[in-house]
Amino acid sequence: MREWWLVAALPGPLHASPGPYDRPMRIALVTARELPRPDGDLPVLAAAATRRGWSCRVCAWDDAAVAWGEFDAVLVRSTWDYLGKIDAFRHWIGSTGARTVLVNPPQMLHWNLHKRYLLDLEANGVPIVPTTLLGPGESHDWHEAFARHGELVLKPAESAGSFGTIRVGADDHDRAQSHRLEHAGRDLLVQPFLPSVIDRGETNLVMIDGAFSHSVRKGARWSGEPEQSRGLVEPTAEELDVAHRVLDATKELGHGVPAYARVDLAIGRCGQPLLMELELVEPSLFLDRAPSAADRLLDALASRVAPN
């Protein structure tokens, strides 16, 4: 991947940055060397930064030639290849966060990389999809799981882009055990399959600096399948309430307010919205469909950089 700079090269009125930061910033938008699909957020963010007179550079997280400390802030975006080198990615998070302002911050990113965060949020009152976490090599009573839930969803606890996420038909013990053996060295989540992800889709609520921005409806996605967005939707009052409860619990757990977050919800068998995922590392934010959210995100970034 070639990295590139954008400095007042895109159309649009040039204006000073709003908020507390009163000089042009140098920011990095962090991506991967190779992407499975284009990142629609990058050009929207770059254009918004350029209109402010900011210098905006797009570069890969694992490019050793990048001097991260030269930036006022580093915004994590489409680092979608980290799963195969997660230890290196964790090291990059720590080292970059020690040199400049990393957004979201290191502690929050480390916590969100492993889906045990779902159990942390549940313990703080968030309604989640019922989740059992299996440690590496830990056996499971599949008879009991099928008896309780019927169809299941299995996914690695460290996963991105639906990696290793499968739907297992009721009483298909062989497939469940085979998948467990395939990922024997990983923590694994066992969850009930929710029919609503097929019938209605999941609602992804984008939260900027703790406030609701916009949301999209997406279809179910299994391992190896492309993302299927169904466009912008208005969330229900119940979905908005859960999204705010998720961020309140995140703050109560000591992680603060994320500059960006995507709260992925589905309707449970109980008829109420349940948290499927809280995405704080590298979620698509669908800024190409809600471009004004890019300015709000840059405001949030600026507010996290102490003025010189």
Kind of pairing between the strands at 73-78 and 132-134? unpaired
Beta-bridged to residue 278, according to DSSP, are: 263
Provide the pLDDT confidence category of residue 282 given band limits of 50, 70 and 90. very high
Closest CA to 279 of 193, 206, 192: 206
Q: What is the pLDDT of residues 77-124, one digit of tens each?
A: 999 999 889 999 999 999 999 999 999 999 999 999 999 999 999 999
Q: Which of 78-92, 169-183, 247-261 has the lowest mean pLDDT?
A: 169-183
Please state, for a pLDDT cut of 70, what percent of the chain lies above it. 87
Q: Note the pTM of the prediction, 2 decimals.
A: 0.89
pLDDT score for 179:
78
Q: Are 32 and 78 in contact (CB under 8 A)?
A: yes
pLDDT score for 163:
67
Q: Are 59 and 3 in contact (CB under 8 A)?
A: yes
Specify the amino acid at residue 243. Answer: A
pLDDT score for 164:
75
Closest CA to 160 of 279, 21, 11: 279
How many CB atoms lie under 10 A from the CB of residue 188? 24
pLDDT score for 138:
79
* Beta carbons within 8 Å of 233's beta carbon, 6+ residues apart: 203, 215, 216, 217
pLDDT score for 87:
95
pLDDT score for 53:
96
212 burial class (0-12, 13-18, 19+ CB within 10 angstroms)? middle
Query: In the sheet where 260-267 sits, what is the strand order?
Result: 229-232, 211-218, 202-208, 260-267, 273-279
Average of per-residue pLDDT values in the chain: 88
Q: Is the pLDDT of residue 8 over 60?
A: no
Q: Which of 57-61, 199-203, 291-295 has the lowest mean pLDDT?
A: 199-203
Torsion angle of the four alpha carbons 4, 6, 10, 15, in this order, in degrees rounded to the nearest 10: 160
pLDDT score for 213:
98
pLDDT score for 184:
72
pLDDT score for 227:
57
Mean pLDDT of 187-194: 93
> The dihedral of CA 231, 236, 242, 244: what is its sign?
positive
Name the CA radius of gyration of the chain, rounded: 20
pLDDT score for 181:
76
pLDDT score for 139:
76
pLDDT score for 84:
85
Beta-bridged to residue 166, according to DSSP, are: 154
Q: Which domains does the chain have, with CATH numbers?
A: 4-104+286-303 (3.40.50), 117-128+196-279 (3.30.470.20), 132-192 (3.30.1490.20)
